Amino acid sequence: MFDTFYCLHGSYLIEVDRLLRPGGYLIISGPPVQWKKQEKEWGELQAMARSLCYNLVTVDGNTAIWKKPSQAACLPNQNQFGLDLCSTDDDPDEAWYFKLKKCISKVSLSEEIAVGSIDKWPNRLSKPSARASFMDDGVNLFEADTQKWFKRVSYYKRSLGVKLGTALIRNVMDMNAFFGGLAAAVASDPVWVMNVVPAKKPLTLGVIYDRGLIGVYHDWCEPFSTYPRTYDLIHADGINSLISDPKSGRSRCDLFDVMLEMDRILRPEGTAVIRDSPDVINKAVQVARSIRWTTQVHDSEPESSSAEKILVATKTFWKLPLTSG
C-alpha cells in the first residue's frame, strides 16, 4: 500500500496524520517495514514519521507501531520534507472533492481533542467534546440533539413497532447523523450504528468520533461503498435535505435514486424509517411501493410538535417473473 506513499511524496502519511487523534497510534504491518529489498523505502517511511514528530514505539518483525504526539512540540522538524501548516482557510473536516494537500492541519495537533483529554467511555458518549464547543452554540445544540433522540427512539420502539433493542436488528445506518444522537440513544441496545454525515451538511463527523462512535462522510447523490443487503435498519431524518443543494434548495438528484440505493443496502425484511414533511413522505411512499416495500405512515412523536410524518417501510422478498421461450 505504500507505493501510494512514495508517489505522493508522503501525502499518504499526511492524510493518516489528519485522521489520527493526537496521542493515537499508527500501526503498519507488512511492506516496507523491515522488508527485504525495500530498505530504502523503510528508511524513508521512518524519516517521514520522524518529521511528523511520531515516536517509534516498537518494531516487531514486519510490524511497526508509532505514537502521534499529543501536542505540537516539534513543528520545525517538519521542514525536512518541505511540510508546513495548512492555511487558516483550510477546513480539515472537508473530505469530499478535495485533493490531498502536503500540509499539516493545526486542528490535528490540538491538545483539546487528544486521547488523554476526552472523557473515558461511556461518559464521552453524553458529554460535549471540545470540537462541539468550537461550533456556534455547539454545546447547546449537542445537548438538545441528545435529548431529542432519546425521546424519538423511545417513541419508535413504543408506538411504531420498530424492533430496535431486539435480536432482529443488529446493523443500523443513520443516513443523516449530525452529532450521532440516534446512535447514542441506542448505545445500550445490541446494535452497531454507521453514522453518515452528508458531505453538504455541517461537518460534524469529528464530534461523532469524540463520542466514541463511528461514521463516514458521504454524498447521497452517489452510491454508498458497502456490500449489498448489509443493514437491518436504515434511518433517514430529513431525506429530502440529503439531495438538496443547501444554497439553492434545488434537488441535485432524484428521491427515487436515493431510495433505490437504500434498497440495495437494506437486507430483505429489513426496515427503513424515513422522516420528513408530509409532501416528501407521500412521494417516498410511492417510491417504496414501486420497489415493493410494505409501508406504514405515522405521525411524529407528540412532544416534538412537528409537522413531520414518519414512514416505516419493510423490504420484502420478491423476484421477477420467469419469461417463457
Contact yes or no for 12/55 (Cβ under 8 A): no
Q: What is residue 116's predicted lDDT score, i.e. its pLDDT?
A: 85
**Is pTM, for the whole model, over 0.85?**
yes
Could you give the CA distance from residue 135 to residue 204 in angstroms, rounded to a whole number? 9
Q: Is the four-CA dihedral 272, 281, 205, 89 of positive or negative sign? A: positive
C-alpha cell at 192: 452497531
In the chain, the amino acid numbered 200 is: K
Q: Domain 123-315 belongs to what architecture?
A: 3-Layer(aba) Sandwich (3.40)
Q: What is residue 133's predicted lDDT score, i.e. its pLDDT?
A: 86
Type and span of the H or E element at 156: helix 138-159
Burial label, 52 (beta-carbon count in 10 A; 0-12, 13-18, 19+): buried
Beta-carbon contacts of 56 under 8 Å, excluding residues fewer than 6 positions away, are 46, 49, 50, 64, 65, 66
Could you give the CA distance from residue 13 to residue 19 in angstroms, rounded to a whole number? 10
Q: What is residue 78's predicted lDDT score, i.e. its pLDDT?
A: 52
Consecutive 10-residue averages of pLDDT for the chain (325 residues): 46 86 93 90 88 92 93 61 74 79 72 86 93 90 96 96 94 98 97 94 92 96 95 97 85 95 97 97 97 96 86 88 62
Domain boundaries, the chain: 3-113, 123-315
Q: What is residue 4's predicted lDDT score, i.e. its pLDDT?
A: 41
C-alpha cell at 233: 435498519
Give the residue from 24, 22, 47, 197 showing the smallest Cα distance to 106: 22
